[in-house]
Amino acid sequence: MSTVLIVEDSKTFGSLLQRNVVRELGCEVVWVRSLAECRDLLASSSTPFDAALLDLNLPDAPEGQVVDLVLERKIPSIVFTGEISDNLRDIIWSKRIVDYVLKESIHNLEYVTKLLRRILRNKGLKVLVADDSKLARGYIASLLEAHGYEVLRASDGAQALAIVESDPEIRLVVSDYNMPDMNGAALTKAIRQVTQPESLFIIGVSSQGSYLTSVAMLKNGANDFITRPFQAEEFYCRISQNVDMLNLIEDLTGMANRDFLTGLSNRKCLHETGKQLFANQLRGNLRLATAIIDIDHFKAINDSFGHDAGDAVLRHFAALLKERFRETDMLARYGGEEFCVLSMNRDKDQAFEVFDSFRREVAARPAVHDGREISCTVSIGVYTGGSASFEGLLKAADDLMYRSKREGRNRVSVG
């Protein structure tokens, strides 16, 4: 759970902020009312704050001292102020805040919620900044770090390309156009040859050249282009728009590949990923233990407790799967009350030990729905051998699962 720090002396406004953050984002909130309280909290607390909402004018900090205090801890911060001037605006932005919000309307809380949601979701998102100018590279990196992004840096196009090729978690590249040996357009073209366009966005930046500079970047695969000099607010708007689009694509992809009820991979994703893993198994890169798991007497649960209770059991069971198995193991809802686990590099004995332990845990930890405990057991079939196809692995595991059913349920059969 994310934790948000609020520093606000107004009881009314602070209460509104706290309720809104908890209700809309489900965050834990720590609220203090002065610079002194904030200083004591940060000195004594081990809580890692993910974001902060700060009043610029506190009774014991009328000149925004609390902002400097919190930013020293590298906590992304949104600042509230009752008024704004050009001079004050420049001072606030120079501190590398996330944004400032006027206390002029209750509706501004919606904007704060949107900002917070973005900051919390994108915390640690990897962005690569490529620029041969150390000063320009550092400036853009500092802007990005203020929003909680994890920033990598490259001093030329070749280094940037090498970093992208070695780190698939990079989601955004901000590249200068004018770099020696490999300019921004050439870098963009090279990146597009090694990455999927929907998984990594590229924003070009330049202070020189005609409109042909931006055209060259965009035609080679860049998603956006910013001309220097730019205002911090313009930069953040462009970054946020592109990251929001990345997140939307990720959400849509997740909807296509995830089971809505349990959050596990769906049957389509299982077959697509399973075939890739099977191909790796044929090349000798890994061994698959393929398990089919069926919840025993699930129809009786629906008949006795209702379909809402049945859904609760499925969600509970999915949570147990996520808790027990490794991140390298693939978990999927195979259909109805059947689930599939593709577990990496387990031999027959290891597979039995792991899945039998899981079977016992399911029996010992009932689901809870409307205050009632609903116990269930599972029958499991695990196949550790070879096959001519991924479908053959699934069929073998399914046959073993039905053997467990025939032999009395609540057991594991391994082959």
Which of the listed CATH numbers 2.60.40.1220, 3.40.640.10, 3.30.70.890, 3.30.70.270 matches domain 267-414?
Answer: 3.30.70.270
Domain ranges of the chain: 3-120, 122-256, 267-414
pLDDT for the residue numbered 189: 96
Report the relative pairing of strands 126-130 and 170-176 from DSSP bridges.
parallel
> Which has the closest alpha carbon to 293: 358, 368, 388, 387?
358
Distance CA 53, CA 389 (A): 55
Whether the bond into 168 is cis, omega within 30 of 0 = no
- Burial of residue 319, with CB atoms counted within 10 A of its CB: 0-12 exposed, 13-18 middle, 19 or more buried: middle
Distance CA 398, CA 383 (A): 9
Contact predicate 53/67, CB 8 Å = no
Backbone angles phi, psi at 377, to 5 degrees: -125, 170
Q: How far is CA 291 from CA 261, 263, 270, 360, 400, in A?
A: 21, 19, 12, 16, 9
- Domain 3-120 belongs to what topology? Rossmann fold (3.40.50)
Backbone angles phi, psi at 382, to 5 degrees: -125, 125
Q: What is the pLDDT of residues 339-398, one digit of tens each?
A: 999 999 999 999 999 999 999 999 999 999 999 999 999 999 999 999 999 999 999 999
User: Chain-wide mean pLDDT for the chain?
Assistant: 92
Please give the DSSP secondary-structure letter assigned to residue 19: H
pTM above 0.95? no
The residue with greater pLDDT, 337 or 280, is: 337
Q: What is the pLDDT of residues 255-264, one digit of tens each?
A: 888 898 999 9
Angle of helix 348-364 relative to helix 307-324, nearest 10 degrees? 140
Percentage above 90 pLDDT, the chain: 73
pLDDT for the residue numbered 318: 95
Do the domains at 122-256 and 267-414 have one common CATH topology? Answer: no
Instruction: Give the end-to-end CA distance of the chain in Å, rounded to a whole number.
Output: 41
pLDDT higher than 70, residue 210: no
Q: Reading across the β-sheet that carries 150-154, which strands appear in turn?
A: 150-154, 126-130, 170-176, 201-206, 224-227
Q: What is the amino acid identity at position 120?
A: L
Q: What is the pLDDT of residues 130-166, one digit of tens each?
A: 999 999 999 999 999 999 899 999 999 999 999 999 9
Q: Does domain 122-256 have CATH number 3.40.50.2300?
A: yes
Q: What is the pLDDT of residues 276-303, one digit of tens each?
A: 899 888 988 889 999 999 999 999 999 9
pLDDT for the residue numbered 18: 93
Which residues have C-beta within 8 Å of that of residue 185, sequence separation ≥ 6?
177, 204, 216, 217, 219, 220, 222
